[in-house]
Amino acid sequence: MLAKCLRRCAFVVTVLATAPAFSAEPPDRATESAQELARAKAHEGLKLYGADRWQEAFEAFQEADRLYHAPTLVLYMARCQRKLGKLTDARALYEQVLAEPLPDDAPPAFLDARRDAEVELDAVRAALAPPAAAAPPPAAPAPAGADRGGGSLLPAGLAFGLGAVGLGVGAVTGILSLSRVSDLKAQCDGRRCPAALQGEADAATTLGHVSTASFLVGAASAAAGVVLLVLRPGGDPAPDAAGAARRAPRGVAWSAGVGIGRIELQATF
């Protein structure tokens, strides 16, 4: 490979002895001494290039091109810059080779240099292109039960409300019943009471029953509220562990009833 490069560069410098120079402001013909110096610098640069001494090779090619310009020398300058990691400078030199006009009778080495520069420039441009935006990371799977519907708190709220009303009514009616019983005892002689107080006695008894029933209803409703708070009727079932498609939520019908001393809670699936 190195011998091939040496032959090509020597051929190029030799050809330039009989062809117009390509420098920006060349003389009509390069002097014989300039040609010899350029040839020597080109050989030196190729040896350094083959020894992986890129910076020294670049300087040798640059000096040779200053003495006698040739596209092949610029091509090797670009290659040195590319090896040194100076891709922006290498790109500019490759583009210089491609932009340089060639005469109709240009040496084959110049045409080869242009073709090589075109191929190598594509690789340099690709290396300089900004990296494509990274794809966003996949969304983390939702934790088990995250899609599960929370269900309604309304039934529990109603049950707690009914329990509060029951306990409140029980407390008030209980106080009234005790107050009337106390008044009746004050008007009776031991266990014997006047017949006129029978109505008051019946009213006190009724208040006592209402108080007892209200306390029972309140307590039962509060217990039902706790159950409904835990179950939350109307929620969606959680998907199974295998990740099967979510089934359509099944209907759940709830009914509750209360009475004196009892509460009924029923669910239909």
For the cut 70, the answer to whether the pLDDT of residue 251 exceeds it is no
Least confident of 131-145, 162-176, 193-207, 228-242: 228-242
Structure tokens at 152: 């309604």
Would you say residue 15 has pLDDT above 80? no
pLDDT score for 168: 83
Which residue segment(s) compose the domain that 86 sits in?
2-128
Q: Is residue 26 part of a domain?
A: yes
- Name all contacts of 191-198 with Cβ < 8 Å and 24+ positions apart: none
- pLDDT in the model for residue 216: 84
CA-based nearest residue to 160, from 210, 214, 212, 229: 229
Measured in residues, the chain has a length of 269
Q: How many domains does the chain have?
A: 2
Question: Domain ends where: 81, 112, 128?
Answer: 128
Q: Are residues 14 and 118 in the same domain?
A: yes
CA 195 to chain centre: 87
Q: Which pTM does this prediction carry?
A: 0.46
Q: Do residues 222 and 168 lie in contact, with contact meaning Cβ atoms separated by under 8 Å? A: no
Same domain, 102 and 171: no
Query: What are 105-123's pLDDT values in tens digits?
Result: 999 999 999 999 999 999 9
Distance, CA of 107 to chain centre: 57
Q: Has residue 114 been placed in a domain?
A: yes
Looking up residue 66, the CATH number of its domain turns out to be: 1.25.40.10
- Is residue 174 domain-shared with residue 255, that is, in the same domain? yes
CA dihedral 76, 79, 85, 86 (to 10 degrees): 60
In a domain, 8, yes or no: yes
Does some domain include residue 194? no
Same domain assignment for residues 111 and 13: yes
Average pLDDT over every residue of 75-90: 97
Same domain (yes/no): 91, 178: no
Residue 167 lies in a domain: yes
